[in-house]
Amino acid sequence: MANKNMKQQVMNGIRDKVLTLDTMNQSVKNIEYAVRGPILLRAMELERELQQGVKKPFTEIIRANIGDAQAMGQKPITFMRQVLALCQYPDLLSSPSFPEDAKKRAMRILQSCEGHSTGSYSASAGIQMIREDVARYIEHRDGGIASDPDNIFLSTGASSAIMAVLNLLVSGKGKTRTGVMIPIPQYPLYSATLAEFDAVQINYYLNEEHYWGLDVAELQRALEQAKAHCQPQVLCVINPGNPTGQVLSRENIEAVIRFAYEEHLFLMADEVYQDNVYAEGSQFHSFKKVLMEMGSPYAQQLQLASFHSCSKGYMGECGFRGGYTEVVNMDPAVKQQMLKFQSVRLCPPVLGQILIDIVTNPPQPGEPSYQQFQQEKKAILARLAEKAQLTEKILNKQPGIHCNPVQGAMYSFPRIQLPPKALQRAKELGQPADMFFCIQLLEETGICVVPGSGFGQKDGTYHFRMTILPPLEKLKILLEKLNQFYAKFTQEYS
């Protein structure tokens, strides 16, 4: 029998490859991640063509596809880079070029590192001193509500923490498979992770007509519908929203917590944009704070994991991959399993951990770096607020485009009307209609945005997601060009 199999595998002296598209893990094959999908690949090709002198109707690619602030020209916060430099190269501690509080901070961090070096592994859950600083930050943020460092897990950005918690939650086969409720539109990390873990994605739709609001009646509809084919166990909420930019009110958060408690769901709160709130009347409320203030039985029984990162906010330090999760009411035995899972990956990047420490323990009043740190932070957030308003204002000038207020985060998710001929042409090409629009936009203007179909949207509606991160003058040009292209595109296909 073995000889027969060998003969089947060997034809003309050539053996079949062990790993092919047919033999590979099909769950991985099912993963899609629109933010770095075919549009970005084409944008990179166009960049290479421009460098080679190929003539295009534009001179540069403007990447508005991903929330990477420093790639869009945002300067790093000085104090953060000073502390990182000192930790990386301690000989600089004797240099007069660095302020004393940066030196003290670096020495404190180095003393907590194994061998007093950032090149060593840390504990799997992260450096203990940094976990304690994170817990103090959460207590301060939430008005004194206690936070236990043992409930803090540092991570490789928020993404790895989200994947780790989902990995703990997903189980079952067939109708007993874990169902995970995610908002639509959603950040593709969620759909990609659920595809990888072979979990059931339960879509609940945000209400575009009400500024992308989260409606509990819609949560109920999605849950009841899903019970026929899976075991709903998890509710994911992104606040402030990505890609939609909405900020949940306290009343809304309370309603979501009551729903999760009554339906016996584990609640995951993605709060990486908590510093990015711009709209007048909007305010960030952490799920942990609201949960604890709601009291019994919610505070004692609802299980929650919340996530934060140094990639977003005013920091924009995407490349260092620093993040954390705080777990609430988690079974101690499961917490040990989470630590075991972290241990397999050894530890999060130490430099990312250091940045999380600075985010959660910034310069204090009276310290040499305090004033500059505050000025830089406020200036970045003020510019983002200005760009959020500008994006809404300019896009809404164009008939056929509707952009809700960008209350928070770093993106707008405008709805576009597409004429029947464009829908037909997209169908002929085998592309979603908004993908067809975004590809044409890229080819003619050099503007790289992501089609709404990559995030999910109601049937019959079309959107795209773009960041508000380009410098103000470049953003104005981008928006005006986008409007002009849309007018030309709709005329061409009308």
**How confident is the model over 236-251, as pLDDT tens digits?**
999 999 989 899 999 9
> How far is it, in rounded angstroms, from Cα 19 to Cα 115?
42
Q: Give CA–CA dist 238/212, Å, rounded.
A: 12
Biggest CA pair distance of the chain:
80
pTM of the model: 0.85
Does 107 map to a domain? Answer: no
ω into 243 cis (within 30 of 0): yes
Could you tell me if 67 and 200 lie in one domain? no
Query: Do 413 and 455 form a contact (C-beta atoms < 8 A)?
Result: yes
- Quick one: 479 and 345 in the same domain? no
Angle of helix 370-395 versus helix 472-492 axis, rounded to 10: 20
The conformation of residue 427, written as its DSSP 8-state character, comes to H
pLDDT tens profile 467-492: 999 889 889 989 999 999 999 999 88
φ and ψ at residue 477, rounded to 5 degrees:
-60, -45
Is residue 456 domain-resident?
yes
Q: Give the list of residues 6+ apart from residue 435 with CB closer than 8 angstroms, or none.
A: 38, 39, 426, 451, 453, 454
Does a structural domain hold residue 39? yes
Q: Which domain holds residue 403?
A: 28-73+373-492
pLDDT in tens, 302-324: 999 999 999 998 988 888 889 99
> Amino acid letter at 402?
H
What CATH number is attached to the domain comprising 244? 3.40.640.10
CATH code, domain with 67: 3.90.1150.10
What integer pLDDT is reported at residue 225 of this predicted model? 93
Say if residue 7's pLDDT is above 60: no
Total residues belonging to the chain: 494
> Is 84 within the bounds of a domain?
no
Number of domains comprising the chain: 2
| pLDDT given at position 52 | 83
Q: Alpha-carbon distance 281 to 347, whole Å?
A: 40
- Averaged confidence pLDDT in the chain: 88
Q: Where are the alpha helices (DSSP H) in 250-286?
A: 250-262
Same domain, 338 and 392: no
Q: Of the ranges 2-6, 61-65, 169-173, 205-209, which one carries the lowest mean pLDDT score?
A: 2-6
Nearest to residue 314, comparing CAs of 353, 274, 271, 364? 274
Comparing 439 with 6, the larger pLDDT belongs to 439
Say yes or no to pLDDT of 494 above 60.
yes
Q: 176 with 281, same domain?
A: yes
User: If we measure between CA atoms, which residue out of 283, 297, 189, 280 comes closest to residue 243?
Assistant: 189
Q: Which two tokens stand for residue 260?
A: 């999760």
d(CA 158, CA 307): 6
CB 361 within 8 A of CB 133: yes
Last residue in a domain, options 336, 360, 384: 360
Q: Could you tell me if residue 142 is inside a domain?
A: yes
* Shared domain check, 332 and 233: yes
On whether residue 445 sits in a domain, the answer given is yes
Which of 328, 360, 392 is the C-terminal boundary of a domain? 360
β-sheet bridge partners, residue 236: 268
Q: Quote the tokens at residue 36.
A: 């770095």
Residues 262 and 149 reside in one and the same domain: yes
Which residue, of 334, 360, 386, is where some domain finishes? Answer: 360
Please give the Cα distance from 350 to 28 (Å, whole number). 29
| pLDDT per residue as tens digits for the range 119-160 | 888 777 888 999 999 999 999 999 999 999 999 999 988 888
